[in-house]
Amino acid sequence: MTMVREPGDVPSSSLVGHNEPSPVLVGRNGPSSGLASHHGAVARARPPARLRRRASAKVAMIGAGQLARMTHQAAVDLDIDLVVLAESAEDSAVVAGAPYRLGSPSSLADIRAMAAAADVVTFDHELVPSAHLTEMEKLGYRLRPGPPALSLAQDKLEARSVLSASGFPVPAFASVSSPGGVSAFAEEHGWPVVVKNPRGAYDGRGVHVVESEDELARLFAQAPPTSRAWLAEQFVDMAAELAILIARTAQGHVSLYPAVQTIQQEGICRHLLMPAPLPAPIVEQAGRMARSIADGIDATGMLAVEMFLDTRGQLFVNELALRPHNSGHATIEACETSQFHQHLRAVLDWPLGATTLRSAAATVNLIGGPDTVEVAGRLPLALGIRGAHVHLYGKAARPGRKLGHVTALGASTEDALGTAQAAAALLGAP
């Protein structure tokens, strides 16, 4: 493992990569990686600068999880130099070979050092202080998406307020800081009430469905708000959950993917169907809403607009993610352009790829359970399922953790789901 640097740069001990060769000694008996002299050996000189490889672009990504891992794979295809900001050398993208800089997304100095040579900076997650992003933009770094748009993925209360003020349908909501505030909200909108931490809540964490005053008292006793306020939201009697994936460039060019239906359990997406088996008017309305949101917030890169469809046929916007998203993993096999290739195209303001659906598809997430063993050891079993495409994230198993996913194509989403579930079962993930 050697340091990654540009010709003439001062080496940095914290920027690490996997693909720059060390000096090689070449002799009559072939290459030698040692530095000891060898009769007849001569040092291989580096080629002149004009002959050295130049990447098509340089992208810095804050975060090194599975989304960065799959973005790295797309970057290799496009000859893009992607470097990720990792908190550990064991992060998912790092163990897959992505060049990385060790640091914290909470450190402005670490972010600036990682982004110094990049054409653009983008994100694997939203867990970056807003003040740091604003400062980075002031200093001239190109952030894709920009801080105002990203803030709507960082703060659910802000997103609800902005979307509601812009006329988009969202569940009734209020900012609350005490049990009394939740009770007052319930008097107007009824029980149950969904109580969320506005920041950092995902995959069921920080989200509570409160059925009564007694449950409310226990919640605030056991898990008091970790921010100034919590988001209280009217419970939606859902018929389905869906996501619209849309790519948008800085010039405003957009491309929509086919709608996806997501099936959630305990706040975690267990599997998804593409295209969503929902009425065409609903899907078309959802697409129009997503396009309007993308333009309205000046999104750049991938945007996932998660929505609820209630039992009366009403759509509500739930959450926004301004990055590649779990709901788009089927695009790797099912669409002409994967969401990861598309995200890189969009943040670099390159022409967007086609999003044509090749086939109906289903994806099953591999979620760690209490008895889950390391799924990699079971991989040969799953590979025996014809048509199953397995993606593992290089993570140790623990309950509730996303360890990978399986996608399958089929004549219908039901056929594809059956294949993906069969392979997931052999991997031992519920």
Q: Is the domain of 196 the same as that of 294?
A: no
* Cβ atoms within 10 Å, residue 251: 9
What is residue 55's predicted lDDT score, i.e. its pLDDT?
Answer: 83
pLDDT of residue 377: 87
| 427 close to 381: Cβ distance less than 8 angstroms | yes
Which residue did the predictor score with more confidence, 269 or 16?
269
In a domain, 149, yes or no: no
Q: Which of the four pLDDT bands, split at 50, 70 and 90, describes residue 26?
A: very low
Inter-helix orientation angle 130-138/108-115, to 10°: 40
Tell me the average pLDDT of the chain: 87
The more confidently predicted of residues 34 and 138 is 138
Count up the domains in the chain and report the number: 3
Tell me the CATH number at 304.
3.30.470.20
pTM of the model: 0.87
Tokens in use for 187?
């008097």
- The predicted-structure confidence for 379-429, as pLDDT tens digits, reads as follows 999 999 999 999 999 999 888 899 999 999 999 999 999 999 999 999 987
Q: What is the pLDDT of residues 357-384, one digit of tens each?
A: 999 999 999 998 877 777 888 999 999 9
Task: Give yes or no: residues 50 and 194 share one domain.
Answer: no
Task: State the pLDDT confidence band at 22, using cuts at 50, 70 and 90.
Answer: very low
Domain shared by 10 and 65, yes or no: yes
How long is the chain?
Answer: 430
Q: Please answer whether residues 298 and 212 qualify as being in contact, where contact means their C-beta atoms are separated by less than 8 angstroms.
A: no
Asked if 200 and 271 sit in the same domain, the reply is no
Q: Is residue 75 a part of any domain in this protein?
A: yes
Q: Which two tokens stand for residue 123?
A: 């994100």
Asked if residue 283 and residue 230 are part of one domain, the reply reads no
The pLDDT-based confidence of 4 (bands split at 50, 70, 90) is: very low
pLDDT at 19 over 60: no
Give the per-residue pLDDT at 2. 34
Strand-pair partners of 319: 306
Q: Is the pLDDT of residue 356 over 60?
A: yes
* Domain end point (choices 234, 250, 281): 234
For 163-199, how does the pLDDT look when each residue is reduced to its tens digit (9 = 90+)? Answer: 999 999 999 999 998 899 999 999 999 999 999 888 8
d(CA 66, CA 394): 9
In a shared domain, residues 81 and 123: yes
Q: Is residue 204 located within the same domain as residue 345?
A: no
CATH of the domain at 99: 3.40.50.20
Q: Can you give the CATH number for the domain in which 226 is found?
A: 3.30.1490.20
In a domain, 48, yes or no: yes
DSSP-assigned letter for residue 269: E
- Shared domain check, 229 and 255: no
Q: Domain end: 124, 143, 162, which one?
A: 143
Look at residue 229 in the predicted model and tell me its pLDDT. 82
- Which range of residues forms the domain containing residue 227? 172-234
**Does the pLDDT of residue 20 top 50, yes or no?**
no
β-pairing, 57-62 vs 80-86, is: parallel
Q: How far apart are CA 162 and CA 191, in angstroms?
A: 25
The whole-number pLDDT of residue 429 equals 72
| 406 located within any domain | yes
| Cis peptide upstream of residue 192 (ω within 30 degrees of 0) | yes
Answer yes or no: do 293 and 415 share one domain: yes
Q: Please tell me whether residues 73 and 181 are part of one structural domain.
A: no
In this structure, the answer to whether residues 327 and 381 fall within a common structural domain is: yes
Is residue 77 included in any domain, yes or no?
Answer: yes
Share of the chain above pLDDT 90, in %: 75
